[in-house]
Amino acid sequence: MFSVTITHCMGIALALAALSVSTQATEPHLKNIRQLTFGGDNAEAYFSPDGTKLAFQSNYAGWGHQCDQIHALTISAAGDSSYRPPLISTGKGRTTCSYYMPDNKHILYGSTHEAGQECPPMPAPRADRKYLWQVLPTYDIYVADEKGSIVKKLTNTPGYDAEGTVSPKGDKIVFTSDRTGDLELWTMNIDGTDQRQVTSALGYDGGAFFSPDGKKLVFRASRPKTDSAAREYKELLAQGLVAPTEMEIFTCNVDGTDMKQITNLGKANWAPYYHPKGKKILFSSNHASKRGYDFHVYMINEDGTGLEQITTESMFNAFPMFSPDGTKLVWSSNRNNNGTRDTNVFIADWED
């Protein structure tokens, strides 16, 4: 769904990268904002270990896509709409949540392509107009090289397996699976072995990332608080659906111990990522919105204090991620889209 390895420090060549967007005085942490994609919905862009590339998903019709597929973007080459980043996924089925492996040459991602070439149909509109995410049971996690050839399948159990990200230490992958009947966090070794369950509370646990030292996880979670909410959650999950409208940010150790709820803001708080110093967390939230859709990036201390709004422009900002050297922030936003619904990838210099 909406889910780099941070190893050694390297700078990011941006001399030729992208259309310049004026820095907003109301976004003081973001300097020299540049646009890297130019059409469709482009999201979950995450850095390669050397900081020169991004793996991301796109449904851009101009690239022939009918639903999300995975691309690898070279930051220095992404200057305008003429740049077409190479396709990494098969072009079949639907994909989600790509992430560079530690060798800087392979990318993991979730895909439904083994279940069929066509994009899985979207759920039928509901009378209550509830916003839902699909957690398709046909998703598994694969590893491909940068030419798009799949070299390994990491999961092979019935049900949803996706949302994989890699530890900065290069030894572990965290992912979300419903193999035990609920959407829980799991870890596995970098080669797919030793798959272990991390969370166990009822609710959707997903979009997890490791802390900079690789010892903790930060993730989004729903926690049904009433019998009726729990019943609805289970009924939706049985249909391969979740309602992501009430989620908070949690942290825990990699083995699931020391579980802590970081936010208590209400509405949807998701797409968390640790600040390079490991003491703060960036995330996306609509808690301050009167209309429900107005998502912005916020920063909060690891103990839940010191909430600060990072973005102010446009109606959608999410998926923040720091570069390996901590000097850049990449995120997705629908700013600068000329009144369309396009969501594009942006990068900026980060200033504490």
Mean pLDDT of 118-128: 91
Look at residue 334 and tell me if it is in a domain.
yes
Mean pLDDT of 341-345: 97
pLDDT tens by residue, 153-186: 999 999 999 999 999 999 999 999 999 999 999 9
15 has a pLDDT exceeding 50: no
Look at residue 182 and tell me if it is in a domain.
yes
Look at residue 9 and tell me if it is in a domain.
no
Look at residue 223 and tell me if it is in a domain.
yes
148 has a pLDDT exceeding 60: yes
Tell me how many domains the chain contains. Answer: 1
Mean pLDDT of 256-260: 98
Look at residue 12 and tell me if it is in a domain.
no
Q: Mapped to the 3 state alphabet, what secondary structure does 240-286 carry?
A: CEECCCCEEEEEEECCCCCCEECCCCCCEEEEEEECCCCCEEEEEEC
Look at residue 192 and tell me if it is in a domain.
yes
The pTM of this model reads 0.92
Residue of higher predicted confidence among 269 and 21:
269
Look at residue 224 and tell me if it is in a domain.
yes
Per the structure, the complete domain to which residue 43 belongs is given by: 19-350
Give the model's pLDDT for residue 1.
52
What CATH number has the domain bearing residue 284? 2.120.10.30
Give the model's pLDDT for residue 128.
87
9 has a pLDDT exceeding 50: no
Alpha-carbon gap, residue 290 to 347, rounded angstroms: 28
- Within 10 angstroms of residue 90's Cβ, the number of other Cβ atoms is 18
Average of per-residue pLDDT values in the chain: 92
207 has a pLDDT exceeding 90: yes
